[in-house]
Amino acid sequence: MSNVLENLQIYLKKMNQYNHVIELLMWDMETNTPKLGFEGHADALTYFSTEQFKMSTSEELSAMLDELEMPQEFETLDDMWKFIVTRMKRDLDKSKRIPADFYESYVMAKAESENAWKEAKNASDYSIFAPHLEKMIEMTRKMAEYTDPGKEIYDVLLDQYEEGMDSETMDKLFDDLKKELVPLVKRILSAKQPDSSKFKGNYDIEAQKKVQKLLLDYIGFDWDKGTVGETEHPFTMNFSSRDARITNHYYEKDALSAMFSAIHEGGHAIFEQQVNPDYDGTVAGSCCYMGIHESQSRFYENILGRNKNFWLPIYEKLGALLPQFQAISLEEFYQEINHVRNSFIRVDADEVTYCLHIIIRYEIEKAIFRDHVSVDELPDLWNAKMQEYLQITPKNDAQGILQDTHWSGGSFGYFPSYLLGSIYDGMFLDKIEEELGSIDDILKDGRIKEITKWLGEKIHQYGSTRTPKEVIKAVCGKEVSAEPLIRYFTEKYTEIYQL
């Protein structure tokens, strides 16, 4: 092995130790830390983040990568190291173009903006947040000009979360989808709605945890490589392919929430658990593409978890753990978990209207970064789009434009990746049915782990080494298209709602 590669590996190993404890501090702050312990953890987090940042942008690292990129060295590398060197060099070059004082003021502005957003949301008063949003937009623009000079701003932002997915592709996908979904949702909403009253009740929290265990076992979560914590909002994090953890939140009045969160986060975690362990501790490991990642959580949650046959092999067990379900038929259950509602809040939305929530945000982000629409106009724009796509108008900003945290932290271009995930899912569904046979049959037979295995082989094992477009091409053999998702929605909901 070349000397410089060996040095890089030693360097990355050390940098990874910093990453490791940064992740652990964050995990513990979400799951365990008592109120007065936060300060100590935050101090440590600041210290190790600063050290990690220094290492990831150092001249020493830069020099090693430069040397490894020289043809005579580069050719000796295997594919994984070629990927790592190229990717790290590109990211480092981008970071190096950001002036240190600008970055510092960005971090400060971001913290202030996040605080202002919390305050604004609590008071349901957009005017508190507006000046901060304006500043974040301006600084995000500036940041993109530094990292990717000469490129179209919004494409740069999209690329951050879903590499290679430009807005031209997305415009097409989202327009295709919108054209079909808006009328489909209208038809669904004017059809007869299922009766949700049977689901009201008090669900024992410990029993919900047992159901969670059942579900995670069922879909193939590997307990040797993961665990579950309890937090306000569910999330997934991972140290490596060998330690990918999820969290959940349990509501006494609502058993479905924790069930579907478990399946969703379980999907994220299974992805990470199935990444090639050789990639651990490098940029090849884990999956950094939000859309692809979300495609897996949503595949488990929606395509599988909201299929009636998913529940067939375990519905009796569910009733044994949560006796309330014994009084609910599987058909009633199926209708409720696919109950389409035009509601205000994205995170509570069903799988169909969810797409429209995202399209609204995508269109507003384009209005901001392409059409320079001012922040003052955004709440009206939001409300008009809600009315147009979902036939409802938020009564206040908290249930409208202030509902999500993303923009306050400068995460513009993130939302579309959620929807890309669903679009990819339509394509993966087609491919699985082509290769493994009918999903309904697989689920009915309790052979769901065959799907987990297929996803592992086709998608998960590659971690970050394939970009989203490369994944789609390699797995589906064609360009990404919204057609399969549209077909899935149309067929499924035509049947459920007898349209």
Q: Which range, of 44-52, 406-414, 463-471, 475-483, touches its own copies by CB under 8 A?
A: 44-52
> Residue 380 interacts with its own copies (CB under 8 A)?
no
Binding segment for its own copies (CB under 8 A), chosen from 123-131, 218-226, 373-381, 401-409, is 218-226
Q: Determine, following the binding rule CB under 8 A, whether residue 1 of this chain makes contact with its own copies.
A: no
Stretch that binds its own copies, among 35-43, 297-305, 379-387, 452-460 (CB under 8 A): 35-43
Is 36 near its own copies (CB under 8 A)? yes
What residues contact residue 313 under an 8 Å CB cut-off, 6+ apart?
218, 443, 444, 445, 446
The verdict on 2 binding its own copies (CB under 8 A) reads no
* Minimum distance of its own copies from residue 40's CB (angstroms): 5
3-class SS string, the chain: CCHHHHHHHHHHHHHHHHHHHHHHHHHHHHHCCCHHHHHHHHHHHHHHHHHHHHHHCCHHHHHHHHHHHCHHHHCCCCHHHHHHHHHHHHHHHHHHCCCHHHHHHHHHHHHHHHHHHHHHHHHCCHHHHHHHHHHHHHHHHHHHHHHCCCCCHHHHHHHHHCCCCCHHHHHHHHHHHHHHHHHHHHHHHHCCCCCCHHHCCCCCHHHHHHHHHHHHHHHCCCHHHCCEEECCCCCEEEEECCEEEEEECCECCEHHHHHHHHHHHHHHHHHHHCCCHHHCCCCCCCCCCHHHHHHHHHHHHHHHCCCHHHHHHHHHHHHHHCHHHHHCCHHHHHHHCCCCCCCCCHHHCCHHHHHHHHHHHHHHHHHHHCCCCCHHHHHHHHHHHHHHHHCCCCCCCCCCCCCCCHHHHCCCCCHHHHHHHHHHHHHHHHHHHHHHCCHHHHHHCCCHHHHHHHHHHHCHHHCCCCCHHHHHHHHHCCCCCCHHHHHHHHHHHHHHCCC
Q: Does 226 bind its own copies (CB under 8 A)?
A: yes
Question: Considering the rule CB under 8 A, would residue 37 count as an interface residue with its own copies?
Answer: yes
Cβ nearer to its own copies, comparing 14 with 249: 14
Asked if 17 interacts with its own copies (CB under 8 A), we say yes
Is the CB of 27 or the CB of 81 nearer to its own copies? 27
The answer to whether 272 contacts its own copies (rule: CB under 8 A) is no
In the complex, what is the shortest distance from the CB of residue 381 to its own copies, in angstroms, rounded to a whole number?
43
Q: Least distance in Å: CB of 199 to its own copies?
A: 23
Q: Which of 5, 8, 12, 48 touches its own copies (CB under 8 A)?
A: 48
Of 226 and 400, the one with the shorter C-beta distance to its own copies is: 226
Residue of 32, 76, 393, 405 interacting with its own copies (CB under 8 A): 32
Using CB under 8 A, count the residues that bind its own copies. 35
For its own copies, give the closer residue by CB, 225 or 385.
225
- What's CA 243's distance to the chain center, in Å? 19
Catalytic (active site) residue 162: no
Q: Does 44 bind its own copies (CB under 8 A)?
A: yes
- Residue among 273 and 297 whose Cβ is closer to its own copies: 273
Find the shortest distance in angstroms from Cβ 100 to its own copies. Answer: 22
Interface with its own copies, residue 240, by CB under 8 A: yes
Would you tell me the crossing angle of helices 483-496 and 351-369 to the nearest 10 degrees?
Answer: 140
Q: Which is nearer to its own copies, 413 or 463 (CB)?
A: 463
Choose, by CB under 8 A, the member of 126, 129, 218, 239 that binds its own copies: 239
Terminal Cα distance for the chain, rounded: 64
Binder of its own copies out of 121, 135, 178, 245 (CB under 8 A): 245
Residue 231 touching its own copies (CB under 8 A): no
Instruction: Output the smallest distance, CB 283 to its own copies, in A.
Output: 17
What's the token pair of residue 439?
């999903």
Closest among 460, 467, 466, 468 to 221, alpha carbons compared: 460
**40 — phi, psi (to 5°)?**
-60, -45
Residues in contact with its own copies, shown as a per-residue x/- string from 277 to 306 under the rule CB under 8 A: ---x--------------------------
Pick the catalytic residue from 162, 163, 265, 272: 265
Q: Which of 2, 58, 166, 229 binds its own copies (CB under 8 A)?
A: 229
CB of 224 to its own copies, least distance (A): 4
Report if residue 276 touches its own copies, rule: CB under 8 A.
no
CB 68 to its own copies: min, Å? 24
Residues making contact with its own copies (CB under 8 A): 14, 17, 20-21, 24-25, 27-28, 31-37, 39-41, 43-44, 47-48, 206, 223-227, 229, 239-240, 242-243, 245, 280
Q: What residues act catalytically?
A: 265
